[in-house]
Amino acid sequence: MKSISSYLTAKSAKVSQRAQSLISLRFVFAILAVTLTSCNEKKTEEPQEEEKSTTEVALTVSQAKTVGIETGFVEDRNLNKVIKANGYTTVPPQNSAEVSTLIGGTVKDIFVLEGTYVNKGKVLATIQNLEVIGMQEDYQSAVANVEYLQLEYNRQKTLSDENVNPRKTFQEVKAKLAAERARAQAAKNKLDALHVNTKGTTSFVPIVSPINGYVGKINIAKGAFANTGVSLFEVVDNSQMHLDLNVYEKDLGSISIGQVIDFVLTNQSNKSIKGKIFGINKSFSNESKTVAVHAKIDPADAKGLIPGMYVSANINIVNATVPALPKDAVVKNADKYFVFVQEDEKAEEKHDHKDGEKEEVHEQEVHFKAIEVIPGTTDLGFTEVKFVNDIPTNAKIVTKGAFYLLSAMKGGGEHTH
């Protein structure tokens, strides 16, 4: 009996111990469930806090001063809507000349250097050709014959009028005179075309400039043989410089004669020059579907320009008053544009300190918030802005140092004490 009682007592103890273990496990699971729920709630809230913090930047007053933060207000500016185009400087065909010779010969002298300014008719070089002597002799012989035949013509006319000589003789003399006059004129025209004097005899032919301008490339050397039809000199008159701009098909409807353009040299963008459109081609220039638009440059602004310089131009289409900020105030982050607005200054933080503990000094902070904008036309250093959300009319906008604030915002937002 005693052994049975002992067995039942031991069995009851084991059952009680298992029940306690189950209760403990249930309690642990309940705690874990509460903990996981709490963590999930925190994780749900964290992105909102992070999203909020990544649009704000806080700097101390001294930091803002060191960085060079400056603020201003949105201004109403008179900005031009523009079409951008690329092109190059050039001169009209009548202001550029390739100088060649009408008769071949050996180059005797060269009187100019590249870059020399020459007037129309200036002798650039001389070539020698013995055939020129024969041309002069032909002219002078023809002139002498004309003088003789003119006298004979007068004599035969008198005799013919008096019926002394047959009229046939008079007609023969008249025909010879006309032929000799034609030969003399042809010989003179040849010598004039070569710029050779009809008097005397010479074998030298001058090569003269047909326009005023600067000597460009020189393609001959002393002692070389100059062939006909080959360019010997290049002369360019830059006083009538203009632009050839390439405008795309989609922009043609907005282009018209008389519109003002502003352009800068692609490799020397420190000076803006103005021009005015005077011609628009009526056919496409190439496979890129662009049309050449010609713009005249004021002669005073054309000084120092040479043909072939690449330019970037803005064609001014319309003029409108729009809200604008200095272009440095607008910064790009990913595919969006932002400006930074200075928020109201916050009071200095006060901290409780224990007895005997030194009070910690906290410098006043300046807070900035990134506001999304849609940029428009940029002209004269200002950019048109449209705010995605409304802001106060007197909001202080960061006009200098916006890029630094963007970097700080990406790097974590607020500073540390």
Q: Whole-angstrom Cα distance, residue 371 to residue 396?
A: 12
pLDDT at residue 43, rounded to an integer: 45
Contact 68, 312 (CB under 8 A): no
pLDDT at residue 13, rounded to an integer: 46
The predicted model scores a pTM of: 0.55
pLDDT at residue 359, rounded to an integer: 54
| CA-closest candidate to residue 373, choices 341, 412, 413 | 341
> Which residue type sits at 178?
A
Consecutive 10-residue averages of pLDDT for the chain (417 residues): 45 47 45 45 45 73 88 84 87 92 95 95 95 93 93 87 81 92 94 91 94 94 94 92 90 88 79 88 82 89 86 82 89 91 67 54 82 85 89 90 88 50
pLDDT at residue 269, rounded to an integer: 60
Phi-psi region for residue 152, left (φ > 0), alpha (ψ -120 to 50) or beta?
alpha
Contacts 24+ apart (CB under 8 A), 149-154: 149/173, 149/176, 149/177, 149/180, 150/177, 152/177, 153/177
pLDDT at residue 265, rounded to an integer: 86
pLDDT at residue 30, rounded to an integer: 44
pLDDT at residue 192, rounded to an integer: 93
pLDDT at residue 163, rounded to an integer: 80
Residue partners of 109: CB distance under 8 A and separation at least 6: 125, 126, 222
pLDDT at residue 353, rounded to an integer: 53
Contact 311, 264 (CB under 8 A): yes
pLDDT at residue 41, rounded to an integer: 46
pLDDT at residue 23, rounded to an integer: 43
pLDDT at residue 31, rounded to an integer: 43
Q: Whole-angstrom Cα distance, residue 190 to residue 185?
A: 9
